[in-house]
Amino acid sequence: MAELFVLVHAPGLGPASWAPVAGELAGAGHEVTVPSLTGFTDAGPPYTRRLVRLACAQIQESAGDRVVLVLHSGAGVFAPHLAEAITARGVAVVFADAALPLPEGPATVVDSAFLPFLRDMASGGMVPPWPQWWPDDVMSGLFPDEVTRRSVAREAHAMPLAFFEEVLPQVPGSWRSCHPAYLRFSEGYQEPAREAASRGWPVRELPGEHLHMLVRPADVATAIIGLAAETAT
């Protein structure tokens, strides 16, 4: 089965966060694309609909019999809507240290428990770029070197607080036919990894930090390929 790997970056970052893994996958002979979500908030709400349209417009669906969506961090909550918008013959989803969509009921883009943190740092209705959310010593430990850190930070922009507060559309019924898996990097994502395991999804762990795909791209690429194969069985 020919597969197209689609690496979706966190809304607060950019394609550079997936570039090393994309290189590993391409080097191994796989079709891969990293859609850019840059600018999806520029025209205001509804943000989810625009993010999905922007990402899907960059996916060459004809390149494979199956699309493997790989979603990092906050991109995870958009998985059902991205999967529904893709018309490939089959869609698999790998959550990479990512938030899980709620199976039912209304939910905001960011967990409601995290919204006060964002509201406290917002100014003029805008939340600072993601690399500014945390102390410098915390951020420096996420990157393999300063060059990579600068490359990723250049793509991070301030975002409207309203984006994080937006209520997600209802999860489409087609989500039940998708084939999810979970890849955990950091301690902070133990709970979604446990939830994935409880749902019977394939789960792998590569202990590291939240941007482990920048630190060990070859290992992450291998894990993604393995999980994609597991979801096909």
pLDDT tens per residue across span 64-73: 678 999 999 9
The pair of three-digit structure tokens given for residue 144, joined into one six-digit string? 């393999």
Q: Which residues of 83-101 are buried (b: 16+ CB within 10 A; e: fewer)?
A: bbbbebebbbbbbbbbbbb
pLDDT tens per residue across span 30-44: 999 999 999 999 999
Kindly report the average pLDDT of the chain as a whole number: 93
Contact assessment for residue 156 and residue 131, using Cβ atoms and an 8 Å cutoff: yes
Q: How confident is the model at residue 232 (pLDDT cuts 50, 70, 90)?
A: confident
Element containing residue 97 per DSSP (H, E): strand 90-98
Q: How confident is the model at residue 62 (pLDDT cuts 50, 70, 90)?
A: low
Q: How confident is the model at residue 133 (pLDDT cuts 50, 70, 90)?
A: very high
Question: Which long-range CB contacts under 8 A does 17-24 form with residues at least 24 apart?
Answer: 17/72, 17/152, 17/155, 17/211, 17/213, 17/214, 18/70, 18/72, 18/213, 20/213, 20/214, 20/217, 21/213, 21/217, 21/220, 21/221, 21/224, 23/217, 24/217, 24/218, 24/220, 24/221
Number of separate helices (H) and strands (E) present in the chain: 10, 8
State the average pLDDT over residues 123-147.
Answer: 94
